[in-house]
Structures are given as C-alpha cells and as structure tokens.
Amino acid sequence: MTDHYKIAFRQAKVDYSLAQKELGQLNERKADLEARIAGLRETIIALSRMCGEEFDEADGLGLTEAIRQTFMAQQNVQLTAENVRDRLEFLGFSLKKYSNALASIHTVIRRLLEKGEIDEVSPTREAEKTAYIWRKSIGRPISKISNAPPPPRTL
C-alpha cells in the first residue's frame, strides 16, 4: 500500500510543478496583453484627437486601472505621482471627481507597490521625489505547502 502512496506523491509533485509553470506562462501572457492594451489605448486617444472624434473611456475605467495602464504603457520609465497625474490628464482621464487627485494617486501607487506590480526607485539628487517603475513580470509568491496531512479524498 505504501508504494501506491509514493507513486501518488511523485505524480502530485509533477502535477504541481506543471501547474506552477502553466500559471507563470499565463501571468506572462497577461502582462503582455495588458501592456498591449495600454499601448493601444494611447494610440486610440491620439488618433481620436487627430480625427476630432470623442473617446471617453474614463467612464468604464477606474483610477487604479488607469494608473496601472499608465505604468504598463511607460515600461522602463520612472514615474513620480506627479508624472502619473500629468500623464492621466494628457490621456484625457478626468480627475475632476477627486477632491485631491494627487492624494488618490499616491494611495493607488502605494497599493500597486504593496501588490508588487511596481517597484520604488530611490530618489536621486536631481530628482528629490520618489519614482516608481512597472514590474513587467509580476512574481507572486507561492503559498507555502502545509505539513499537515491532506484532507481525505472522496470518490
């Protein structure tokens, strides 16, 4: 009977490893698609201005997602909260409904930082303000495996 458990154990480890690899590939694909969407959004906004057309995505796009897309579109570019605000305004995202837009942006940046979606860049002598940069591949920690026995399986 012990041999059956060992075989099941080895197979579960293989399945676990494959599932982790698949999840990593999906996360990379998701990051690539999000960056593509952010770039397309910028293109649409620029073209809508040139054509004199109205493009109002702000109604369906929340502040967090707008800031996330701003960082994704500016990969490898360090952005301060003020840069983010200016970029959002340039892209036509209305910040009028926020009594203190910059404070709201700082709050969202802090949350993105805590989630590991952006990295903080230390201020330099030239730039006294802290800047942030998009972390292309978001490495989310894998939860620890418990040493407790697994729950009983039902067939």
Q: What's the rounded Cα separation, in Å, for the pair 120 and 78?
A: 9
Give the global pTM.
0.55
Candidates 1.10.10.10, 1.10.3720.10, 1.20.1250.20, 2.40.40.20; CATH matching 14-134: 1.10.10.10
For the stretch 29-86, pLDDT in tens is 888 888 888 888 788 878 877 877 666 555 456 788 889 888 988 878 899 999 999 9
For the stretch 72-115, pLDDT in tens is 888 788 999 999 999 998 887 888 888 899 999 999 999 999 98
Does residue 135 register a pLDDT over 70?
Answer: yes
pLDDT of residue 84: 94
State both tokens at 68. 């996330």
> CB of 92 within 8 A of CB of 55?
yes
- Max mean pLDDT among 31-40, 49-58, 120-129, 144-153 falls in 31-40
Domain coordinates in residue numbering, the chain: 14-134
What is each CA distance from 91 to 4, 39, 46, 67, 97, in whole angstroms? Answer: 61, 12, 8, 11, 16
Q: What's the rounded Cα separation, in Å, for the pair 36 and 6?
A: 45
pLDDT of residue 141: 37
Does residue 155 register a pLDDT over 80?
Answer: no
